Amino acid sequence: MSRSIRYAAFSVAVLAGTTSALANPKAKNVILMISDGAGDTTWKAANQWQFGNNSTQQPWQSNPAYKSHWMSTFPGDTLPLPPGQTDVRLGFPAGTLPRRLPQLWNELPIPQNGSYDISAANDDTPETVRVWANANGSLLGDRGPRQALTPVASNPAAVRQLAGLLAAQGSVRPHFDQGFAAYDYLIWNSTTDSAAAGTALASGRKTYNSAINFIDNGTSLEAVPFITQQVKALGKKAGVVTTKPFTDATPAAFGTQDDFRDDEAAISDSMIRNGNLDVIITPGHPEFGGSSQTLSAANLAALRGGLDNWTFVDNNANLRAIGNGSQPAPERLFGMVPVGGSLNSRNTTGRRNAYDPRFYDPANPNGAVPFVNPDLDELSMAAINTLKQDPEGFFVMIEGASVDSAAHANNLPQLIEEQLQFNRAVDRVINWIETESSWDDTLLIVTTDHANGMFLGPDSRTVYFQDPVPGGAGELPQGIFWTTNHTNELVPLWSRGPGSELFSQLFDGVDPRRGQFVDNTDVYTVMSSVVPEPATMGLLAGAAVVALRRRK
């Protein structure tokens, strides 16, 4: 059965109440939690640091009540960009480069003929792997300096052209390492950026890297509907919480539509004014060094003036009070943590004491440093306490965004810090579900948008996909980062609540290492299937058409 027919049949079956697992499952609330950039070994490394062994997991990871799946994340295929964006983003004059550049740096808006090739992703043939990193190289391993891009003679002519231009600037040189063919495939082929991945999660549509709920329909670029719009149309509330500025790709995918993720000023204005969101909680405060593209002076003033019934809160004590319930939540909350850039979990970047209660302080190395900014779990509860006031229910996307930044930097201490911060937020959300809501009312999905860094064991050059090796509790695991960028690995997904069993009906393939896996577009399929009120025939027909179109 083709994917498009399978999905059309699935939508009609779910909404008609004929699925084998559960007839027409519905959720009052949907909570999607994204640890941005977290591959399988990101979770493993954090657990190894926390528990000191390979076997102990977070309670929700080891609890069979939470359904566990693997998920593919590749972007759309053969989808061109608006002319000139690739060139401009690289700092070259528009028109310098061809419009299509396959197999390149995944943070660039370049189509990559997206797919997940099961055979290539599991090829254990020993092979020279094209590896590359920032100029400072990896914190771990003995490779020596690695650069921002590896030009390889076998790459297509367009790639060699770009590599030549960058080499002329003195910013790249070849670097190779012994490994396995699967590593090379996962590093270089069909890697998504957060925009395309966020679009897949939010709208169920594959698209080109850098698109925010936009696709190329063959003749023009077209905005596509996304889950937050559906939720709002049903009378529910919706929100986003992130540890990076809210104009970043992942939160933007749940708040607006734009054909280019770097249009931050337009994305900001839209998310503030389009009515799709009732909660935005974010760092990036312009009065603390944040960019005016994230929040302009005009919009800051408007928010403080009560624009569209927003309540603007940029005081840590008040944000915490809304989160712990000691201060009434407003009807609409724009929470801006008073920090200019990302909200990193702890001030221990680059140090061995990841999430050690004895935070590093040059003046008092053994003393505790107070938490200045709210943690992600506190901000998550501020959002939920605001959204839960709607008797119809809510949708919220909660992102641990700086996991991705740490992986890009190959910064293992920070990677672990950020992942543990995210895990604490998951714990806090689960506690709310079990004490104030219920698993009959709330669907929780915990996953990532893509993997990053491919952190494997210290002998992974010769031991195929070796896991990181744990030390004791509180000790960094041993391992090697194979890249400073996103990969095409299958990533983990956990779910519990109404509709969580639907993932088992959406398998896209069987991977020899991971088993059956779903696709990131299936997250949207499940969320959109469980949020409607009792369906009309028109909704049934519409859902089937959407499911048919989105897989083409």
Would you say residue 362 lies in a domain? no
What is the spatial distance between Cα 75 and Cα 114, in angstroms, rounded to a whole number?
Answer: 5
Look at residue 442 in the predicted model and tell me its pLDDT.
Answer: 98
Looking at the DSSP bridge assignments, the partners of residue 378 are: none
**Residue 520: which of 463, 447, 466, 453 has the closest Cα?**
447
Which pair of structure tokens corresponds to residue 29? 């609330």
Write down the pLDDT at residue 476: 85
Q: Please report whether residue 438 resides in a domain.
A: no
CA-CA distance, 350 to 174, in Å (whole number)?
27
Total domains, the chain: 1
12, part of any domain: yes
Instruction: Write down the pLDDT at residue 78.
Output: 42
**329-345, pLDDT tens digit by residue?**
999 999 999 888 888 76
Cα separation, 57 vs 61, in Å, equals 6
Element (H, E) at 70: strand 67-72
pLDDT at 473: 86
Question: Splitting the chain (552 residues) into consecutive groups of 10 residues, what average pLDDT does each group show?
Answer: 48 45 77 98 94 94 97 75 54 60 40 79 91 40 36 42 55 64 88 93 91 83 95 97 97 95 94 98 92 97 98 95 98 93 60 35 45 85 98 98 88 86 95 98 98 93 96 87 88 98 95 98 97 49 39 39
Which residue in this structure is represented by tokens 């509180």? 474
- Position 66 scores a pLDDT of 98
456 strand-pairing partners: 480
The answer to whether position 3 is within a domain reads yes
Note whether residue 453 is domain-resident.
Answer: no
**Residue 4 falls within a domain, yes or no?**
yes
Asked whether residue 412 is assigned to any structural domain, the reply reads no
CB of 106 within 8 A of CB of 191? yes
In 3-state terms, the chain is what percent helix, strand and coil (to 5)? 35, 15, 50
490: left (phi over 0), alpha (psi -120 to 50) or beta: beta
DSSP code of residue 188: H
Structure confidence at residue 221 (pLDDT): 82
Query: 428 lies in a domain?
Result: no
Which structural domain range is residue 7 located in?
1-24+535-552
Which strands sit side by side in the sheet containing 509-511, from one edge to the other?
A: 311-313, 333-336, 279-282, 237-242, 394-400, 29-35, 442-447, 491-496, 67-72, 515-519, 509-511
Residue 213: its pLDDT value, please? 96
Model confidence pLDDT, tens digit, residues 215-230: 877 677 899 999 999 9
- Note the pTM of the prediction, 2 decimals: 0.85
